[in-house]
Structure 1
Amino acid sequence: MTRLFAGTPFDIPPQCEDCGKPETECVCTPEEKAQAEAKRQREADRLPPEKQTARISVQKRKGGRKATVVEGLTAKANDLPELLTKLQAACGSGGTVKPKQDLIEIQGDHAATVGSTLTGLGFKVKPTR
């Protein structure tokens, strides 16, 4: 042990969080670093499903059609498009995400299926009428 900082974090050169290379050899562009930082921030803002409550309702639309609406899950705390894909696969139906209103719409009356799917994913479910 001839070096003063041998074996401490100061002995190791700092590394880039994105590419893993030492900072002196890093080839990441500023845009890549900004995208990676934004992704890390989104992941940090996510809430676990156990801490969220989804409100499920069935709304009647024009032409007598029905739509199952899931509210209470914020776009900032969830990956709503991924959740929509899982719900569509479970229901065998189409749907859409409206991130400005923080809601997911599934075509048809699928409240029971959506509720059981969300419960299986760990969300708390509260049906509304």
Structure 2
Amino acid sequence: MKSKGPPGGGLVYSTESGRMCPGCRQPVAACVCARQPARPAGDGVARVSRTTAGRGGKVVTLVRGLPLDDAALAALGKQLRTACGSGGTVRDGSIEIQGDHLERVMAWLQAQGHAVRRVGG
């Protein structure tokens, strides 16, 4: 007969501290396993480059080094994709724009008041 408890067994609720995390066995408020390491704040300079590494030969324009939180970075990525008229994503603290839009992205970021530096060849 299967157990209906958490995988690996263990405490799921305590009257003293409430719900318990099944991973680290600590109260949910003090859980240490769900916290992600903080991304470095950066120096405020947007580093714009183009790369094809790991993308099957497709060119991608990368923007890194902006000291923005995830929500602001996603909003900026949306605006850049709209300005370039192409797709892209926000991944690991960097904005990826599909295609070779290096000059257009640099000009747009400078117009928005960001310090921009071209990186790579």
Bin of the TM-score, shorter chain as denominator length: 0.5 to 0.7
Structure 1 residue identity aligned to 2:98? Q
- From 82, 85, 97, the counterpart of 2:90: 97
2:50 corresponding residue in structure 1 = 58
2:99 aligned partner: 108
Aligned to 2:61: 68
Query: Which residue type is aligned with residue 114 of structure 1?
Result: V
**Bigger Cα Rg:** 1
- Tell me the secondary structure at the aligned position of residue 81 of structure 1: helix
Residue 59 of structure 1 aligns to which amino acid in structure 2? Answer: T
User: Any idea what SS the aligned residue of 1:79 has?
Assistant: helix
- Aligned pairs, how many? 77
TM-score with structure 1 setting the length: 0.55
Q: TM-score, normalised by structure 2?
A: 0.58
Would you say the 8 A contact 2:51–2:62 is kept in 1? yes
Stretches of structure 2 that go unaligned for 5 or more consecutive residues are: 1-42
- Per-residue CA shift, 1:27-60, capped at 9, x if unaligned? xxxxxxxxxxxxxxxxxxxxxxxx8210001011
Identity among equivalent pairs (%): 40
- Aligned to 2:110, which of 109, 112, 119? 119
Unaligned runs of 5+ in 1: 1-50
Structure 1 residue ranges, 4+ long, deviating more than 6 angstroms after superposition: none
CA RMSD between the two structures: 1.9
Structure number with the higher helix fraction is 1
* Counterpart contact for 1:74–1:102, Cα < 8 Å: no
